[in-house]
Amino acid sequence: MFESNEMAREKLLLVPGPSPVLPRILEALARPTVSHVGPEMVRELGGACENLKKIVFSEKGEPFIIAGAGTLSMEMALLNVVGPDDRVLVLSQGYFGKRMAEICRAFGLRHDVLESEWGKAVLPEELAARLSERPYQVVACTHVDTSTGACGPVEAYARAVKKAGALFVVDGVCATGGIAERMDDWTIDIVLTAAQKCLGTPPGLSVLVLSERAVEKRRSLASVAAYYSDLLRWLPVMHDPAKYFSTPCVNEVRAFYEATRVIMEEGAEARFARHDLFARAMRAGLAALGFGFFTDQRFLASTLSVVAYPEGVDDKAFRSTLYENGVVVAGGLAQTAGRVFRMGHMGNLTAEQVLLALDAVETSLKTLGRAVALGAGARAARGVLGS
């Protein structure tokens, strides 16, 4: 257990995942370890599955909650629906789109990549044009690429993919539970995600929802190059957690169930609106403090900001000073390293935490010798929050 002074020293975690975890979710994690096939798991894994379907607006989809992380979710999604005769089109707008293609390569899945410039996303008309050039059985996209802060136009992609008759896989690791993903209405076949971002649970779970069509596709494949990752082996467990395939991470599932209850209490639509509001507030505050944004305006995601430094602010010095002032953010990935910092504003964040983060940014700039108008960041954010 934490000593109370240790708890007081805990930083506000604003990396773009994991997001801060509410005490009631941490408490669920610390509840007793129960039998993986006992009544508690039947209730809590079962309840988490039901709630998960509501979060992605899927009536008849099949949810899967399995020990792992986002990358395993990506791998599971592809391995379970891409057959030897299929071809995948990967829409890539950054680091995690590249990863999707790397997974295809690692398993010898035939694929092409349609790539956008960093900070933007592939346009729906570019996708439609590609789909009319050659047949694809599966299209995979990243909803929000955490490297660039760009949000792909998933609903418009879905329309193009449906027209082409392909299966549509969405990497929602940095979006699910924070930005709408309406599986049934939009026709998405797989939403894959992880516990630690907009869902607000500690890292440790691969989370997927498959449409009926995606499950049928898996059934149509004689075999897949997977054992633990073969979703058909997990399906009976997700229908009835009293059945055994491989021991679920009981405590993490208990925490995840609690996290889905938090989301149900807030309401999915209210949660999406809150993410949008906090993103606008945070960006107004950062802009007032002299920062710019890496992501193209048209594609700004509400779950994180990729923040460009003003002339003369050193990345390492800024982030370590901000850390000393109580807030943890991440550096830029690949080509953006040193030029930006990445700040998550997702999950169970509060308006107070948004304001606190802006105050810490302001204090850090001052420590580094920049002239900033006192309280300018929080004031701009308050203007958006209406508080």
Please identify which residue in 17, 20, 241, 285 interacts with ligand PMP, judged by CB under 6 A. Answer: 17
Give the contact letters, 121-150, x = binds to ligand PMP (CB under 6 A), - = no. Answer: ---------------------x--xx----
CA atoms within 13 A of residue 344's CA, in its CB half-sphere? 29
When asked if residue 361 is in the footprint of ligand PMP (CB under 6 A), the reply is no
What's the min distance (Å) between Cβ of 141 and ligand PMP?
10
| 174 touches ligand PMP (CB under 6 A) | yes
The yes or no reply on residue 69 touching ligand PMP (CB under 6 A) is yes
- Which stretch, 5-13, 50-58, 123-131, 170-178, contacts ligand PMP (CB under 6 A)? 170-178
Contacts with ligand PMP: how many residues (CB under 6 A)?
12
When asked if residue 249 is in the footprint of ligand PMP (CB under 6 A), the reply is no
DSSP state of 60: S
Residue 241, preceding peptide bond in cis (omega within 30° of 0): no
Strand intervals (E) in the chain? 12-13, 62-67, 88-92, 111-115, 138-142, 144-145, 150-151, 167-171, 190-194, 205-210, 292-293, 304-308, 327-328, 330-331, 340-344
Candidates 66-74, 213-221, 247-255, 266-274; binding stretch for ligand PMP (CB under 6 A): 66-74
Tell the residue number behind the tokens 């109370």, with chain if given: 4
Distance CA 121, CA 115 (A): 8
Binding mask 187-206 for ligand PMP (x = CB under 6 A): -------x------------
d(CA 284, CA 50): 37
- Is position 70 an interface residue for ligand PMP (rule: CB under 6 A)? yes
Other beta carbons within 10 Å of 214: 24
Whole-angstrom CA distances from 123 to 92, 141, 157, 176, 182 are 11, 12, 8, 21, 19
Write down the least CB distance from residue 288 to ligand PMP, Å: 28
Among positions 57, 64, 96, 318, the unique one binding ligand PMP when judged by CB under 6 A: 96
Residues that bind ligand PMP (CB under 6 A): 17, 69-71, 96, 142, 145-146, 171, 173-174, 194
